Structure 1
């Protein structure tokens, strides 16, 4: 018994150790502003790259920035059949299907309408049930629908459904009709999870069904019969999640199941109801469920590490529920939780190691505020802190050994604030403190010795605050203090040399490749003049208001980089004696500069950590990537001059939140260039389309070209890169070919605006990069045609050609008058137009059918004529009046008249205008309005095209 208790205690301690050693998952939430409801029930990424979120109150399309909402509208048969969305998928033709609690829907991207499917008792090939729970496209491109009244397969040819129903008398049938989930394994078999009836495995080749059920007397059977999730992992093992009965792993060879349930231990799974099973890029299984957050499976130890829905390690207690998940094409995982909304797990985990003080952990960092980091000749990492003394980091065990001030111990550290750490020729550490001057530390004997290295010449008082050290020769080094500089000889303390320079506080010292000493001070940059034995201010030909130097660094090309306090970073041209800000002018308040073993600069600044590629000429450096808290950094506010590098390439940075250590080669990035879509188009700041009616047959993201008249030559175009990992880091470049001479680059603004674009053909091109600077190779294009200004509106041409036009008009009028005398005008122009519309290219029909079409066309014409002056009347209202859908309307008009809906409406409007011109004395402007035209110029243009004369000339005839 004692042995058993001991084993239990050891196991518990090991589990606690494992939990403490785990890193948090890198999760961050997508925005929820604009979404129809925060409770997400389904997630899908379509073939075009858009995200679709199903909720309990509508369907949402997300482009990374904004949501477009689709909802059920009472009486509108082309809207979503129900607002409670359960599942979303595409078929082999990339048509989007949406399952709801009340019907199945197919979405038409062009018309933005839904076609709904419901059960029909009189049709054996209809959908078996209205409650749709799962949509699944198998490897053979068969589209499966799971309902709570049976399973079916969609037959595209005749838009019917092949049913697979439970038959109590037939063991070779699905085990139950309440279908919850479907997956396909590597052998092509379908695994069908049901409510109350276990799992059925269907082999499409043999047409054979195999059932797996829970059996009370068999602990190797399924743990429960209500299956709510299934997954085949990369090791080709099937995992099955149940409702309130835990997780199951299927052993294919033995045809048995291994069960996982919460058992009170921190290493067990956190939930009994498994809603979600997924796998990350490290091939680790992630389990989500009711009030259990997420459990990450350790395959070697057969244990779980539990996390809450914020990605934090969850040692015990309940957490919010994971409702569903979806893995994007780029490998990112989207997770919907009961907290509301969707969190994204980028699946490219950051390799930043973060170390901070933990009062419960004796081996943690002594204090979070880091003043200095230093790597000695043996590769040991030393950390100087603000109040926590000196720390030695044990890389193997991830532990810290601390040396702090101890009263009454002369050989101990006397100051807990360590500003600078160096190493002398004997291997001893040189420690610059804030209050007790210089100290040396014999690391082999653990012996500290304090030396008052500098003394003020004016006051004869000790200078205790030391900011930096630079070794001149063995046991001879420069000391930077708040009161200037001094040269200290370690072998002879009385040989201190004081410098009579009014240079103020010295922040940093740097010895360049030529052996010259540079001092960065509060009054500027100084260079040591050995001939005169003074530090001379280095003249800088630059308008630099703030001369306070914060840091100095010399790169592999022997160029000196200088950062100024609360200002920009610059490169020093030693020959021209000036600073050059070219290439890195976006960096402000630089605190650290260091070069890695691959020749990249790593710079900490105001907005985070930046990786630059060093270049030999101008530009001197090119930004490759930036990092902030979303990338796993504990903070973006790093303390000045706390960067160092180990022999094997580890980079170390200190902040007031702890220590950051990483290897540049271990940081993974997002390699997937984004898809970019044009999401909206404005004309003169009004969200409209260039059609005269304000309506189009397809949305802007489905179009490849657009036509504008000359009055619509000021417009804006909105676009979105469909990269959902930190979309705020996306970059854009755009150009209107034929108008712009160069590409414009923007980041947060996703809009291009153009004003008074001349008539002509243009191509708008836009491309984007993802959060890691990976650019789309081929830009997205939209062809734009701006028509010419009509002659009668071009004032310059009017002035030049007025005489010619007048003479030509007289000749034309005489010719037209002569022709009119020889021809007979039709009795009724309206009847002539209708007759032409009805007979042109129409198919032969029975007399009754033709009569019905004629009546329908007259009804169509009457409705349009009644609403010509209505601003709010559009295609949706027309469909409602006719009792039809958009798709049916387009099809009917095309079949009868061989015209589009918009062409037919334009014909009716023109005929109405012709009648008014013949029968009334109203002005042309008033008639244009009454006929439904918004623009007089546009009315005149299309009227001329239709009747061969202007409205005024037509009236005169």
Structure 2
């Protein structure tokens, strides 16, 4: 920080006169006046007031050394690097006094507490070099730091001269040997104890050093150190060569000194020249302090001064000019204690001063304001320009609330105005709305109440014949717009009485208006806009959805239905402006956006409605024009807009940046086609559309940050060595930050990005400067980003960062294969185990079932053995009776018994027999039983032939019938009725219930044995049902 001293006063009146003359002289240097000034403070992310140094690197970043560490600025945000306790990979000292950049992109810093630090942006690492002299670390303040073309690091130590840092060993070597033929005292002693405040490398290997004792030239190859002076050194007198700043401009060195003003040294001729800011006090130590110098152009230098602030030095006139003397900016730009000045590639000025850092952006407006003076006004300075037409000789201007119609002779510059008539009963304000120069050269002037033509020969405004339609209503028609169709007819709209067509040959008018009795008439008499297309149609528009076109074939207006509002088809659809362009489109401005209608087709069709979603700022469109290049321009209440038909977007230019007055009505083309005018109150702004459509130079987009899991990831070195950035499987959440390092138009930048391999298409980020991704699957990707200008066109090369995200081990093919093999093996082992267990269980169940079956069969056999003797006893009893009574029947009975026992013996070894065999057997058995019971036993067999092939357990039916006889009363008066039939695959044996009160030899095991036996022979169980009338046994047929 430079010493602050107060400026002394000289009471001499000569001083004040001289200063006044000097101030007049200094105005020769031209200061930019239209400035955008930004003071950086905590609200912008810059928290330091003590700014020490400033550096622009080759990539475009700005680096700022402060008392609070190192800052990096990318045009939007500041990033701070500062000392971290117990962290060797950080700054050893926060007070950064000097900055320099190497060709490898590394940032070198000179520190107040001694030492040099090097920051590598590619790796995010700091390498610190403490000052070690004779093996000892010394606390030396770094007063100068320079990295030459050969990447050698040169250091100025406060009051210790020039040193070279060996970056490999970390050692410092002093260079102070010199010879000086003009010295009055040993220069070597002076130089070894001097402070080098500033330095610049001229020719490769030649360093120019500005010191307290003047200028020195040091040759790095020979280590030759030579003082460059205009006269021998005298340390006891007031000198001009206490140099604290330097800049090289070709063969000239410009040096700023403490109290010595500005000096120029010609390297070729060796000539010196000194310039004072304050010639009145040339030998005062608190004035003429030039702290910073930057070359502005071949004619001018930017300079900063401790006692005068920021200014310009004109090299041709040798005059200074300071903003401290500018009444416009004297309160915006510090007038004192400015310590250095720098510029960037966008011609912005960066000023370091006692209160921090200020950026000053000179702006060259592309809009030129032309005032239209008037002789009277009804609204003070707020009279409006409503229309403007220009031809080769004249400029015609329509004014509102002023003095009428203006005609300016372009050759003589004479501006004449013509008042217009007012209709009785109307507001007493002169209102001229529209001007038209038709294809025959006639100039038509439309005022609120009357229609005129301007006679260019007589230079008179002529009131022509008026339309007769005014008779439909009292008062003025309130004319609003005018156009010429393809046949030369002149169409004039009104807001009270429809539209009028003037035949230029006959001078007669045709009137089109709303007639409630005629459905073919106009829907409204309020017409606010009109245009004629190349197909001979005339389009008109107005409020409440009024849009119609005149068809020259039918000679009628046809209503065209459009609804720009999706939510309300009746309201919010006022047509405010119309234009038929040269490309077959009609553009309709409404209070809900801009409507594009294709008229090349037989039926006009809406192509698109442009709204705020398409970039439109302000929905109400006031005026539409097409420039010579075919571009559609229109105005809203806040913006000048251009339609990019390629991208179908609206590019809006906020007029507040360039047009200080509000827009009155719209934009209009001049006759030569290369200028547009924005009309406002008091005058109009002219601009060249090409100047707004000029594409910015190809921009270089830069990745400013790459954060993985919200932690900075320095990828550049890895990308350079391996060709891609490799991330772990858990590092699949990351954010890219990017920008174009443009410090003048950063607000207008648009961006698009994509993660190739993840995003299907480019993501339009607008002005957002970051892209975040989460849960990215493992794989190869390429992050791409590009810059778009305000018109949506790409204006930068695409920056690509190849990425590889490791696949989580549990998703890797080998892990999945191993898991699949393990699971398959386990399943196979489990399957084999289950199969084996099931086989063992099945074997046991089979054995158990076999034993149970054998048991059941034994029991059943026992049952049969039990039944056989019982049956035999009963049969023999019946046979003995028959022998005595009926020998023939006894013979038949004996034959039946023989067949029964033969069947029993034959089926003894069979589990199942055909049902037909069992039926044949049971018929024999029934005939024998009827011998005993006669009509007391009735057996009904109703079994269809189709079931006879199915099978049944042998003697089942005999057992069941025998069981029925055994448990029921068999009497001719109350016969036992047994029915045998098939139902649902079951053979039913059903008998009526007339139970005996006592049954001999009933062990109740016969049916149970049958149930068990059928359980093993059939999937369907044997069923036993009993109610109060019947007993039924259902035997599954097998």
Which residue matches 2:590? 564
Q: Is 1:748 aligned with 2:772?
A: no
Which residue matches 1:278? 294
Cα deviation, residue 426, structure 1: 8.4
Cα deviation, residue 98, structure 1: 1.5
Which residue matches 1:155? 166
Which residue matches 1:880? none
Which residue matches 1:136? 146
Stretch deviating more after TM superposition (139-148 or 741-750) = 139-148
* Deviations 1:56-84 (CA, angstroms, capped at 9, x unpaired): 32221233333221223456554323333
Which residue matches 1:634? 659
Q: Is 1:107 aligned with 2:119?
A: yes
Stretch deviating more after TM superposition (76-85 or 801-810) = 801-810
Q: Is 1:238 aligned with 2:253?
A: yes
* Deviations 1:102-142 (CA, angstroms, capped at 9, x unpaired): 23222244664434344445359x88x73223322334443
Cα deviation, residue 798, structure 1: 11
Please say if residues 29 and 313 of structure 2, whose CA atoms lie closer than 8 Å, have aligned partners that are also in contact. Answer: no
Stretch deviating more after TM superposition (567-576 or 580-589) = 580-589
Tell me how far apart the structure 2 counterparts of residues 578 and 376 of structure 1 sit (CA, whole Å). 34
Please say if residues 54 and 62 of structure 2, whose CA atoms lie closer than 8 Å, have aligned partners that are also in contact. Answer: yes
Structure 1 residues 702 and 276: alpha-carbon distance in aligned structure 2, compared to 1, 3 A threshold: same
1:261 aligned residue (269, 274, 277): 277
Cα deviation, residue 257, structure 1: 0.8
SS of match in other structure, 1:641: strand
Which residues in structure 2 correspond to 1:382-397 (within 5 Å)?
382-389=396-403
Higher relative contact order (CA 8 A, sep 6+): 1
Which residue matches 2:303? 287
TM-score (norm 1): 0.66
SS of match in other structure, 1:740: coil
Which residues in structure 2 correspond to 1:103-502 (within 5 Å)?
103=114, 104-109=116-121, 112-123=124-135, 130-149=140-159, 150-165=161-176, 168-170=185-187, 177-185=194-202, 189-195=206-212, 197-204=213-220, 207-212=224-229, 224-233=240-249, 236-250=251-265, 253=269, 255-261=271-277, 272-280=288-296, 284-290=300-306, 292=308, 294-297=310-313, 307=323, 319=335, 323-328=339-344, 333-336=349-352, 340-343=356-359, 345=361, 349-355=364-370, 367=381, 370-378=384-392, 380-389=394-403, 401=415, 403=417, 417-423=431-437, 429-434=443-448, 437-438=450-451, 441=454, 447-448=460-461, 453=466, 457=470, 460-463=473-476, 465-471=478-484, 477-483=490-496, 484-487=498-501, 497=511, 499-500=513-514, 501-502=522-523
Please say if residues 154 and 161 of structure 1, whose CA atoms lie closer than 8 Å, have aligned partners that are also in contact. Answer: yes
Cα deviation, residue 533, structure 1: 4.8
When Rg is computed on C-alpha atoms for both structures, the one with the higher figure is: 2
Structure 1 residues 674 and 395: alpha-carbon distance in aligned structure 2, compared to 1, 3 A threshold: farther
2:605 aligned residue (578, 586, 597): 578
Cα deviation, residue 240, structure 1: 2.6
TM-score (norm 2): 0.62
Which residues in structure 2 correspond to 1:665-814 (within 5 Å)?
665-666=690-691, 670-677=696-703, 679-683=705-709, 687-688=710-711, 699=714, 704=719, 713=732, 716-769=735-788, 773-788=793-808, 790=810, 803-806=823-826
RMSD (CA atoms)? 5.2
* Deviations 1:822-870 (CA, angstroms, capped at 9, x unpaired): xxxxxxxxxxxxxxxxxxxxxxxxxxxxxxxxxxxxxxxxxxxxxxxxx
Tell me how far apart the structure 2 counterparts of residues 429 and 314 of structure 1 sit (CA, whole Å). 50
Stretch deviating more after TM superposition (365-374 or 720-729) = 365-374
Cα deviation, residue 255, structure 1: 0.8
Which residue matches 2:940? none
SS of match in other structure, 2:524: coil
Tell me how far apart the structure 2 counterparts of residues 145 and 462 of structure 1 sit (CA, whole Å). 88
Tell me how far apart the structure 1 counterparts of residues 556 and 22 of structure 2 sit (CA, whole Å). 66
Tell me how far apart the structure 2 counterparts of residues 243 and 357 of structure 1 sit (CA, whole Å). 52
Q: Is 1:647 aligned with 2:672?
A: yes
* Deviations 1:690-742 (CA, angstroms, capped at 9, x unpaired): xxxxxxxx635665455556566555544444443333333333222322232
Structure 1 residues 263 and 595: alpha-carbon distance in aligned structure 2, compared to 1, 3 A threshold: farther
Tell me how far apart the structure 1 counterparts of residues 408 and 239 of structure 2 sit (CA, whole Å). 48
1:68 aligned residue (62, 74, 79): 79
Tell me how far apart the structure 2 counterparts of residues 385 and 179 of structure 1 sit (CA, whole Å). 67
Tell me how far apart the structure 2 counterparts of residues 152 and 291 of structure 1 sit (CA, whole Å). 32
Tell me how far apart the structure 2 counterparts of residues 178 and 445 of structure 1 sit (CA, whole Å). 81
* Deviations 1:444-500 (CA, angstroms, capped at 9, x unpaired): 766555679567647643326433222469996322222232345789998684644
Tell me how far apart the structure 1 counterparts of residues 305 and 627 of structure 2 sit (CA, whole Å). 43
Cα deviation, residue 771, structure 1: 6.5
Tell me how far apart the structure 1 counterparts of residues 596 and 337 of structure 2 sit (CA, whole Å). 51
Please say if residues 701 and 797 of structure 2, whose CA atoms lie closer than 8 Å, have aligned partners that are also in contact. Answer: no
Unaligned stretches of 5+ in structure 2? 1-18, 179-184, 281-286, 423-427, 515-521, 831-1038
User: Would you say how many aligned residue pairs link Structure 1 and Structure 2?
Assistant: 762
Unaligned stretches of 5+ in structure 1? 1-7, 265-270, 409-413, 690-697, 811-957
Please say if residues 19 and 315 of structure 1, whose CA atoms lie closer than 8 Å, have aligned partners that are also in contact. Answer: no
Cα deviation, residue 181, structure 1: 1.7
Stretch deviating more after TM superposition (505-514 or 488-497) = 488-497
2:540 aligned residue (519, 526, 529): 519
Cα deviation, residue 169, structure 1: 0.8
Cα deviation, residue 789, structure 1: 5.2
Which residue matches 1:932? none
Cα deviation, residue 581, structure 1: 1.8
SS of match in other structure, 1:36: coil
SS of match in other structure, 1:106: strand
Which residue matches 1:87? 98
Which residue matches 1:827? none
Cα deviation, residue 561, structure 1: 2.5
Tell me how far apart the structure 2 counterparts of residues 39 and 529 of structure 1 sit (CA, whole Å). 74
